[in-house]
């Protein structure tokens, strides 16, 4: 009981604070979290969560998804301690382990966001005017932060079992082989990882994307198979690059969707990632430079240009 009370406090505090900051009624937040969880978490996970303060876990996942798709990177920092607390709990149960693996791989997004929260000064507020949100960090600053963040990071334990097998698949699709390291950023090379919105496998393919590139996702989900997942991911990357002609934009579209990137390029009359970076969803702003830094760390090369 003491453990559950502590968990309740860890989970509830930042969510209540966020709801107050954004003028959201907590009852409304809980109701929307309930609906979100019913639509996105599978029945086995929901059944297990009944015994581990299920409502607060669902609220956390809903809030993380909201902030990942939000506009401001710094807003993610407020979820850091809560997410750290919930990972060990989710790791205890087979049904919730895939979500723990997904969240654990993304803890450093929250850490970097919190770092920016402490270092980026808040904008000046005019008397009588509402406070302005802190600006998003420039893409070059993010690249520098991520290079330092992953500089001493060892290979994921399972990476050696996969990299040599997957590079030929990427080469066969005429995609730079160093992009297999997307799997480290997406799943830490653990095919069991599953996002709360349904992405799965080494390369965290959504069901629609997987089916689009020939994978079965219902019975015997092929996204959980390394070679099949890699082939579909490589085909998707090849398609995106043929459209955007730029690997940074390709990565942004892989994470946020091609429609999101197309709209921002048109709106800002831009042609490069850096020109739209601060307008992308918060997760994507963190994702692209993290992939770049990971490739530099693992392969000693920069992301291919053009």
Low-confidence winner among 21-35, 47-61, 228-242, 245-259 (lowest mean pLDDT): 21-35
Q: Is the pTM of this model over 0.85?
A: no
Spatial CA neighbour of 47 closest among 113, 94, 100: 94
Q: Residue 14 pLDDT more than 60?
A: no
CB-based contacts of 87: which residues, under 8 Å, 6+ apart?
Answer: 100, 103, 104, 107
Please tell me the predicted confidence (pLDDT) of residue 11.
43
Q: What whole-number percentage of the chain has pLDDT above 70?
A: 82
- Locate 273 and state its tokens: 């990632």
Spatial CA neighbour of 64 closest among 75, 52, 55, 54: 75
- Locate 285 and state its tokens: 């702003």
Residue holding tokens 């969803």? Answer: 281
pLDDT band at 49; cut points 50, 70, 90: low
Please state the separation of Cα 12 from the chain's center in Å. Answer: 22
Q: Kindly report, residue by residue over 239-292, the tens digit of the pLDDT.
A: 999 999 999 999 999 999 999 999 999 999 999 999 999 999 999 999 999 999
Interatomic CA distance for residues 223 and 187, integer angstroms: 12
CB-based contacts of 47: which residues, under 8 Å, 6+ apart?
Answer: 95
3-state secondary structure string across 94-107: CCCHHHHHHHHHCH
Interatomic CA distance for residues 39 and 203, integer angstroms: 22
Please tell me the predicted confidence (pLDDT) of residue 35.
56
What residues pair up with 211 in beta bridges, in sequence order? none
**Which 8-state DSSP code applies to residue 196?**
T
Spatial CA neighbour of 252 closest among 139, 105, 108: 139
Are the CB atoms for 252 and 284 separated by under 8 Å? yes
- Higher-confidence residue of 20 and 63: namely 63
> What is the arithmetic mean of pLDDT over 109-132?
84
Domains of the chain: 2-117 (no CATH), 139-299 (1.10.530.10)
- Distances in Å between the Cα of 233 and the Cα atoms of 83, 163, 175, 201, 225 are 28, 14, 10, 10, 12
- Higher-confidence residue of 119 and 109: namely 109
- Locate 136 and state its tokens: 């998003």
Please tell me the predicted confidence (pLDDT) of residue 119.
86
Q: What's the N-to-C CA distance of the chain in angstroms? A: 56
pLDDT band at 38; cut points 50, 70, 90: low
Please tell me the predicted confidence (pLDDT) of residue 8.
38
- Locate 164 and state its tokens: 């040599």
Q: Kindly report, residue by residue over 64-110, the tens digit of the pLDDT.
A: 999 999 999 999 999 999 899 889 988 988 888 999 999 999 999 99
């Amino acid at each position: 009981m003491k453990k559950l009370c502590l968990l309740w406090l860890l989970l509830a505090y930042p969510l209540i604070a966020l709801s107050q900051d954004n003028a959201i009624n907590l009852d409304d937040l809980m109701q929307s979290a309930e609906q979100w969880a019913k639509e996105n978490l599978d029945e086995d996970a929901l059944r297990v969560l009944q015994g581990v303060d299920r409502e607060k876990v669902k609220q956390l996942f809903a809030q993380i998804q909201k902030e990942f798709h939000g506009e401001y990177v710094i807003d993610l920092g407020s979820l850091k301690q809560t997410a750290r607390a919930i990972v060990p709990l989710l790791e205890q149960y087979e049904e919730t382990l895939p979500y723990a693996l997904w969240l654990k791989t993304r803890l450093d997004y929250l850490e970097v966001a919190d770092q920016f929260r402490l270092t980026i000064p808040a904008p000046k507020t005019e008397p009588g005017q509402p406070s302005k949100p802190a600006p998003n960090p420039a893409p070059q600053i993010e690249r520098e932060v991520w290079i330092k963040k992953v500089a001493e990071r060892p290979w994921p334990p399972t990476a050696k079992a996969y990299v040599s097998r997957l590079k030929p698949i990427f080469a066969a699709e005429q995609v730079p082989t160093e992009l297999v390291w997307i799997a480290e950023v997406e799943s830490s090379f653990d095919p069991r990882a599953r996002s709360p919105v349904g992405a799965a496998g080494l390369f965290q393919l959504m069901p629609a994307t997987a089916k689009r590139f020939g994978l079965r996702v219902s019975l015997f989900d092929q996204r959980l198979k390394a070679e099949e997942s890699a082939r579909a991911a490589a085909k998707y990357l090849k398609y995106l690059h043929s459209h955007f002609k730029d690997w940074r934009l390709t990565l942004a579209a892989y994470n946020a969707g091609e429609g999101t990137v197309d709209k921002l390029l048109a709106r800002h009359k831009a042609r490069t990632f850096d020109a739209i970076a601060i307008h992308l969803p918060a997760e994507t702003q963190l994702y692209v430079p993290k992939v770049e830094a990971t490739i530099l760390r693992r392969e000693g090369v920069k992301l291919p240009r053009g």
